[in-house]
Chain A
Amino acid sequence: MAISAKKPVEGDETVHHVPPGKKEKKGKPKKYPQPPMTPMIDVTFQLLLFFILTCEFRETEGAIPGTLPAKGIITQAISDTPPPDPIQIRVIPSANRESASYEMTGVTVAIGSPHELGLLLQQRQEQIGSKEVPIVIFPNPDVPWGFVVEAFNQAKKAKFLKIGFAQQIM
Chain B
Amino acid sequence: MAKHQVYSCSDVGFNMTPMIDCTFQLIIFFILASQVATDAYASNVKLVRPVDSQAIPIAVAPFPNKVVVNVLSAAAGEKDPDPEMAAGVKFYKINQVKFNVGEWDRMADVIKNMRTEYEKQYGTSKAPSAGASGKEGEDDRQFFLEVRADQRVKWEDVAPVIRAGVEAGISKLNITALTARVGESR
Contacts and interface: CB of A to CB of B under 8 A. Distances in A.
A51 B155 contact: no
Contacts of A91: 155
A152 B169 CA distance: 22
Contacts of A154: 50-52
Interface in B141-176: 145-146, 149-156, 158-159, 162-163, 165-167, 169-176
B174 A65 contact: yes
14 contacts: A41-B16, A41-B20, A52-B30, A62-B177, A64-B56, A65-B132, A68-B162, A118-B52, A142-B155, A142-B156, A145-B154, A149-B177, A154-B51, A161-B132
Given A44-B24, A68-B170, A51 B56 contact: no
B75 to A, nearest CB: 12
A115 B132 CA distance: 24
Contact of A55 (B30, B83, B132, B150): B30
A31 B154 CA distance: 73
B179 A62 contact: yes
B163 A167 contact: yes
B171 A68 contact: yes
Given A52-B30, A150-B50, A63 B155 contact: no
Contacts of B149: 145
Contacts of A118: 51-52
Contacts of A60: 57, 178-179
Interface residues of B, number: 62
What is the interface residue range for chain A against chain B?
Answer: 35 or more
Candidate in A55, A60, A65, A71 with the most chain B CB atoms within 10 angstroms: A65
B152 A145 contact: yes
Interface string B79-95: 00001000100000000
Nearest to B71: A145
Candidate in A63, A115, A140 with the most chain B CB atoms within 10 angstroms: A63
Interface string B35-73: 100000100000111111111111010000000000100
A135 to B, nearest CB: 13
Contact of B27 (A44, A63, A96, A113): A44
